[in-house]
Amino acid sequence: MDLVDGAAIFSAGGGGAPEVGYNLVDRLVDQGFVVELVDPVEAPDDAVVVNFACVGATTSVAYHSEAAVKTLRILEEYIGKKVFAVIPVELGGFNTLAAVDVAARCGIPIVDADGAGRSVPEVHLKVYTIDDIPLAPMAVADVDGQNIVLVRHTRDSRSAERIARVLAAEWSQTAYTARRILTGELVKKSSILNTLSKSMRVGMLLRKAVDPLGAVLKETSGFKLFEGIVKKAERETKEGFTWTTATLSGARESKGSTFSFKAKNEILVAHKDGKLSAVAPDIITAVHPESGKCVTAEKPRKEDKLVMIGIPAPEKWRTMKGLTLWRGVLQRSNINERYVAIEKLHH
């Protein structure tokens, strides 16, 4: 459960509901499955490592292990090579555990790394795109594994995102994807390393620390952005995304101030008293004021009490190529703020 709770802290409110992640853990334990966590340095350079995740709106997460495994096997059959390990595409309370579940049921390791160091709203929005690693070939399946599409080649990663998103929208707003075939060498060079063990440390702090929130902020070099009560929350599921906006009024040290955020699956931008408080790729996550656990972006309802935290993005996202990728996502979400590092906004 530590992995679920820790990964959710880095999710920016996306990556699926932690409750679904808990259920996956319970099922794996009850059914006697184990999975080996492999340090990226231990992956042979020529090993085949496949990314696995669910794609779609965060309000429409459904999951069937057999269909998820089938999706990976279809891709493995197409490439004609045995997959050495699975790697999560991102950190999130559900999506990270979906990759763990597939790895466990296939009897192969899960790599202690991921493709984003956080959750992200679009399929192509991974650090691998910065390094020009193609997203296709890609297998995309519906939640029952009855419809499976094999995408052999696309013009670019953005085109692959649109294909997966359209299919997810057609299939009740969610789909499985096995994609972005890496070698062990590429895992070491391109992915965000040791993020699962880092997430487990954060989850352990949430479980054991006297001051869970304070311990997590110290561990992640994060910031407490706001504490307050939700006064307005609106959400809409369309085009394979869950769009959410919320406004909070301040409590305790935030009393007298207001805070707002906008999410496209993940929270992308936040303002305090009308001024920029944080913007993606930095991580903005709502958490419970007492437990410090993640409250996913679509969950807040009027009168809910929340603490908003911010965590610096992995350095790879702060490069020119990384910020250019995020700028396109923000613009497609009608967000025009330019990136300012969270530590500069809260120095």
Strands (E), 152-212: 174-183, 192-193
List the chain residues with pLDDT less than 50.
none
Structure tokens at 70: 């089938």
**What type of residue is 293?**
K
Residue 57: predicted pLDDT? 58
Per-residue pLDDT at 158: 83
Specify whether the CB–CB gap between 114 and 314 falls below 8 A: no
Peptide bond preceding 281 in cis form (omega within 30 of 0): yes
What pLDDT sits at residue 242?
A: 86
Q: Name the helix (H) or strand (E) containing 19.
A: helix 18-30
> What is the pLDDT at residue 105?
97
The pLDDT of residue 283: 98
Euclidean distance between CA atoms 8 and 197, whole angstroms: 13
Note the pLDDT of residue 164: 84
Reduced 3-state DSSP string for 9-76: HCCCCCCCCHHHHHHHHHHHHHCCCCCCEECHHHCCCCCEEEEEEEEECHHHCCCCHHHHHHHHHHHH
Q: pLDDT per residue over 108-161, tens digit each?
A: 999 999 999 999 998 888 999 999 999 889 999 998 889 999 999 998 888 888
Domains and CATH numbers, the chain: 2-195 (3.40.1610.10), 215-345 (2.40.390.10)
Q: Which residues of 85-114 are buried (b: 16+ CB within 10 A; e: fewer)?
A: bbbbbbbbbbbbbbbbbbbbbbebbbbbbb
Query: What is the pLDDT, as a whole number, of residue 171?
Result: 83
Which residue carries 């406004």 as its tokens? Answer: 247
CA separation for the pair 256, 248 (Å, rounded): 11
Phi/psi for 327 (5° steps) reads: -60, -40
* Angstrom distance (rounded) from CA 187 to CA 44: 10
Q: What pLDDT does residue 271 have?
A: 98
Rg (CA), the chain: 19
pLDDT given for residue 135 in this prediction: 87
Query: pTM score, two decimals?
Result: 0.92
Task: Indicate the burial class of 334 (C-beta count within 10 angstroms; 0-12, 13-18, 19 or more).
Answer: exposed
What is the C-alpha separation between 126 and 133, in angstroms, rounded? 10
